[in-house]
Chains A and B, each alone.
Chain A
C-alpha cells in the first residue's frame, strides 16, 4: 500500500455537499490550509481514506467572501477554521466552536496575508524568469519558421547557416579573373566563419544570462563584475600583443 495524493478543484458552493458526501463515504478529515496568492486566497481541504489523500482546492477567494463551515460534518475542523480566520482573514461562518477571532493571540491582524519584501521579490523574479523563457521560446520558434520558409530542404543539425546573398556572389564570380575569384572566395569563407563564431558566442552569452537570472542578485552582480574584469584583462593582453 503506497500513499496516493491527488489535487482536485472545488468551488465554495460545492463544499457543504462534498463534506457530507465524504462523511457518508467513510473518509476522514485531515486538514484545511490557506495560501495567500495575488489573485486571492486558495483554500485546500484534505480528506483521507485508506491510502488515498485527496486535496480539494478552492481557488482565489476574495476578501469578504463567505465560506461555510464544515464542522457540522467534521467537528475537528474547528481548529483549522478558526486558524484560517485569524491568520488569513477568511470569513468562515457557522463554526461549531467559534473563537470570534481570538483563537491565536496575535500582535498583527491577519499576518499571513502580509506580503513580505522577500516574497514579493521572489514572485517578481519567478515572473521575469518565466517571461524570459517564454520570449526565448517564441523567438526560437519565429527564427525556426523564418529559416524553414527560406530553406525548404531541411539541413543537417549543427551545419552552419551560410549568410544569404552568397548564391548571387557565386553568379557574379563566374567568368571573372581567377586570382580575383580566389580572393573573393576566401573573403566569403572568412565572413561565414566569423558569422558562425558570432552565433556560437551569442548562444553562450544567452545561456550565461539565463543562469545569472536564476542566481541570488548579489552573487550575480559579483559574477558579472568578475567577467567584465576578465574581458578587460584579455583586451589589454591582446593590445599588448598587437604592439
Chain B
C-alpha cells in the first residue's frame, strides 16, 4: 500500500452543480475515508421567518432550492395549516399532488442528465434535458413560472387547472412516456453505462437502516422511508401506492429507482387527473398561530423525506420554522459509500446520491 494522501474534492468541481467539499484520504487509487464539508452558501433563510409573516414566508420557502421549489412551498403550507388547524379543499390537495409529482419528474430527469454528463455521455444528457423542457412547459402553462411557481398558499392553492389543460397534460405525459422509455434503455441496458454503475458505491440494507437514510438513496438499498406511504393530503386518495425498491444498493440501483419513479409519478398524475373533484381551491385563513403551538410534518421531496417544524408566538410571525432536508440526512451514508471506492468512481457515487447543498444549508 502507498502512502495516504488527502485529495480535496470540490467545492468547485465539474461534477458538482453546488458547492460541496470532500477531503478524500486515498492510498494509491483507493479512497480510505471521505469527510464531507458544507457551509459555503448558508443564507439564513430560517431566520427570515422572524421578519416575514406566515403568508409571506411561503415565497421564501419555495426559494430554498430551485429544483424542490414546489415541494418546499407545499411542505411549509401543510405544516402551517396543521399548526392552525386549517383543512384545505379536496381539489387543492389533488392539485398539489399533481404539481408535486410533475416536480419529481422534472427533478429526476434533470438528475439523470447530470449523471449522463458525469459518465461522459453528453448526447444522453441533452436528450434528458430536452425531455425535461416539456415538463417545464406544463409548469409554465399551468402556473406562469418554470422554476418558481408561487401557486401554493396557506389554505390551498391560488390557481386552478381546467379540464382542457388536464387533457393537454395527459397528452404531453403520454408523449414523454414513449421517449422516456428509450432513455431508460440507455441508462439501464447500455453496457458502457453499466460499467460505470454496477457494483459501484454499494450501501448495504443494514448500513442504510443504521444511518437512517432517506429517498431514492435508501430505496435502492431496499429501505422504504417513502413519506408518500403515509397518505398525507392527496396521497391518501391514491388507490394503491407501492414505493419503487431495489436491493442492490449500488449506483446502478440508484439510477434504476429514479428511472422507474418517473414512470410511477406519471401514473400518479394520471390517476389524480381522473379522480380530481370539482369545488373550491382555497379557504380563507384568519388569525395567527397560538403562542407556543407546535407542528411537525414530513413530505417526500424528489431527493427524499423532508421534515418541517413550525412554532407560533401568538402573532402573524412564526417563532421558528425548520426544514430538515434529505441531503442532511444522507451525508453520513455518502461518506460510507465513498470509503473503499476507486478515486475515479467518486463523481458517480456523489452524483447518484444527488446532494442538494442549497437545501441542506438554507
Q: Which residues of A contact B (CB under 8 A)?
A: 1-3, 5, 7, 28-31, 33, 35-37, 44, 46, 48, 51, 53, 55, 74-76, 78-80, 86, 97, 99, 102-106, 111-112, 116, 118-119, 122-123, 125-126, 129-130, 214
Contact = CB atoms under 8 A, between A and B. Distances in A.
B295 A5 contact: yes
Contacts of A1: 229-231
Interface string B320-362: 1010100011111100000000000000000000000000110
Contact of B313 (A31, A46, A53, A123): A123
Nearest to B360: A79
In this complex, which of A7, A125, A126 has the most chain B Cβ atoms within 10 angstroms of its Cβ? A126
Contact of A130 (B296, B311, B314): B314
Contact of A79 (B40, B317, B331): B331
A103 B212 contact: no
B315 A111 contact: no
A76 B331 contact: yes
Contact of B212 (A28, A37, A97, A116): A28
Given A30-B324, A31-B307, A76-B329, A5 B212 contact: no
B209 A53 contact: no
Given A79-B332, A214-B288, 9 more contacts: A2-B236, A3-B232, A3-B297, A30-B212, A33-B309, A33-B320, A55-B309, A76-B331, A104-B42
B231 A2 contact: yes
Q: Name the 10 nearest CB pairs between A and B, nearest first.
A: A126-B314, A31-B324, A104-B39, A76-B332, A28-B212, A119-B50, A122-B315, A33-B322, A122-B317, A35-B320
Nearest to A73: B210
Contacts of A31: 307, 322, 324, 328-329
A90 B187 CA distance: 46
B35 interface: yes
Contacts of A44: 309
A201 B347 CA distance: 74
Given A104-B42, A106-B42, A126 B315 contact: yes
Contacts of A99: 37
Contact of A46 (B35, B51, B296, B333): B296
A137 to B, nearest CB: 16
24 contacts: A3-B230, A3-B297, A5-B295, A5-B296, A7-B296, A30-B307, A31-B328, A31-B329, A33-B309, A36-B320, A51-B230, A53-B298, A55-B296, A76-B331, A79-B360, A97-B35, A102-B39, A103-B37, A103-B39, A111-B47, A118-B317, A122-B50, A126-B313, A129-B315
B291 interface: yes
Given A28-B225, A35-B319, A118-B50, A76 B232 contact: no
B317 A74 contact: no
Q: Max chain A CB contacts within 10 Å: which of B209, B309, B331? A: B309
A48 B313 CA distance: 26
A122 B231 contact: no
A112 B212 contact: no
Contacts of A86: 39
A118 B288 contact: no
- Could you say which interface size class chain B belongs to? 35 or more
Contacts, number: 117
Nearest to B82: A5
A160 B185 CA distance: 83
A76 B333 contact: yes
A131 B170 CA distance: 56
Contacts of B46: 112
Contacts of B232: 2-3
B319 A125 contact: no
A63 B240 CA distance: 50
Interface in B137-195: none
Contact of A111 (B44, B211, B313, B329): B44
Contacts of A116: 47, 50-51
Nearest to B296: A5
Contacts of A123: 313, 315
A32 to B, nearest CB: 9
A3 B47 contact: no
Contacts of B295: 5
A1 B235 CA distance: 11
A123 to B, nearest CB: 6
Contact of A122 (B236, B313, B360): B313
B38 interface: yes
Contacts of B227: 3
A97 to B, nearest CB: 7
B81 to A, nearest CB: 13
Contacts of A122: 50, 313, 315, 317
